[in-house]
Amino acid sequence: RGELRHAAAAYREVVKLRPDDSRAWNNLGVTFYHQGNYLEARPYYDSALRTYREIGDRRGEGLRGPQPA
C-alpha cells in the first residue's frame, strides 16, 4: 500500500504539470482503486475520460456499454 501512495503522489505531480495527460489521470484513479478507495478513484477516471474526449480519443467509452446508432 505504501507503493500505491507514492505512485498516487507522483501522478498528482504529473497532472499538476500536465493537466491534459489522460493516462496520468487514469493511473491516478487506478492507484486509489487498488487501495479500495473506489469513490476517490471515480473523479480521476472522469478526468481521464474528459481529457481523452478533448483530444478526440474514444478509449474507455466502451465501458459504458453499447450505444444506440
CA-to-CA distance for 54 and 45, rounded, in angstroms?
14
| Total Cβ atoms within 10 A of residue 30 | 18
Q: At what angle do helices 22-34 and 38-54 cross, to 10 degrees?
A: 170
pLDDT at 13: 97
pLDDT band at residue 66, thresholds of 50, 70 and 90?
A: very low
* pLDDT tens digits, 5-56: 999 999 999 999 999 999 999 999 999 999 999 999 999 999 998 988 887 7
Pick the more confident residue, 57 or 4. Answer: 4
pLDDT band at residue 57, thresholds of 50, 70 and 90?
A: low
Q: How many residues does the chain have?
A: 69
C-alpha cell belonging to residue 6 = 507514492
